[in-house]
Amino acid sequence: MHMHDILNRDKTIFGFEFFPPKTDDGWDGLVSRLHTFEALEPSFVSVTYGAGGSTRTKTHDLVCHIAANTSLDPIPHLTCVGHSKQEITTILQSYQEAGIDNILALRGDKQQGGATPQDFAHASELVKEVRAFAGKSFGIGVAGFPEGHPETPNRLVQMDHLKAKVECGVDWICSQLFFNNNAFYDWVDRCDVAGIATPTLAGIMPITSIAGMRRMAELAGGANFPAKLQRRLYRFQDDADAVAKIGATWAAEQCADLLDNNVRGIHFFTMNKSTATEQIYSSLGALSGSKLRNSH
């Protein structure tokens, strides 16, 4: 379903993010868990893409599997760094043929070495390319960074870049993960000051392990890990179950507060596991996902 229609249908949008597993075991595990995610009735699910095309086939295969075999509505991530315009067109054609309606358009992190095509420098150029695609009018989402993107320390300039990207024809923004809602609220306010009125989804990542938190800190450069959260986690660092429970509880508190503040949507970075997302839904009192999406 095109994001315009999802936005019209759901008062609050819920998205779940998956990554394409590298191994057959990982694939089987995720595929066997898809029905658990279906039961939570998200507005959509998204599938990440390895910058430079490293997961090109796997992302496409997982998106097509979800579309053909489940009630979930998959949105592929697509990064432009290292791709030629022709490659991007071919990928868009394949999603058009598979009946996919939306693309999350990203730049991806710059690749080390190698002679790769330089057709795209920024995600805004990918947005223009997807917008210009003759085959279909895809719904287009982009990334936003409440706590800043490391490459643009000047936050005013960063907002200029976000505004320019959005003006290329963007339907929704999905935020980078954050653990302090005030950072998100202030960023949404700053978007408002900059004249960006695009619907914005809050990125929420339940921490499931200390090692996972450290990996995340590496991937999501700029994200803050509040001292209070770290104290709670490190207090029980030798107890894996307790750490996972603390991570899910923190994320659930964030979600409850976001809903209280009328957030337009929440995007869960699930890491392909359903337990934390189920715990969060249950703590929100959600008997059904569709009720949660449409409650006031």
Size of the site for ligand FAD (CB under 6 A): 22
- Angle 220-139-188 from CA coordinates, rounded to 5°: 50
Residues 84-103, one symbol each (x = binds ligand FAD by CB under 6 A, - = not), give --------------------
**Residue 87 a catalytic site member:** no
Taking 3-state DSSP, the helix, strand and coil percentages for the chain, each rounded to the nearest 5, stand at 45, 15, 40
174 lies in the binding site for ligand FAD (CB under 6 A): yes
Closest C-alpha to 169, from 134, 137, 212, 193: 137
Instruction: Name the residue nearer to ligand FAD (CB basis): 162 or 233.
Output: 162
**Rounded-to-integer distance, Cα 63 and Cα 47, Å:** 7
Q: Which of residues 23-82 bind ligand FAD (CB under 6 A)?
A: 48-49, 51, 77, 79
Which of 13, 72, 91, 123 forms a contact with ligand FAD (CB under 6 A)? 123
Which of 165, 184, 254, 265 forms a contact with ligand FAD (CB under 6 A)? 165
Closest C-alpha to 116, from 80, 78, 83, 85: 83
Instruction: Name the residue nearer to ligand FAD (CB basis): 40 or 126.
Output: 126
Q: Which of residues 185-204 bind ligand FAD (CB under 6 A)?
A: 203
176 lies in the binding site for ligand FAD (CB under 6 A): yes
**Rounded-to-integer distance, Cα 32 and Cα 34, Å:** 6
In three-state secondary structure terms, 17 is strand
245 lies in the binding site for ligand FAD (CB under 6 A): no
E strand segments, the chain: 13-18, 44-47, 74-79, 102-106, 139-144, 172-177, 200-204, 265-269
243 lies in the binding site for ligand FAD (CB under 6 A): no
List residues binding ligand FAD (CB under 6 A): 48-49, 51, 77, 79, 106-109, 122-124, 143, 149, 151-152, 158, 161, 165, 174, 176, 203
**Residues noted as catalytic:** 17
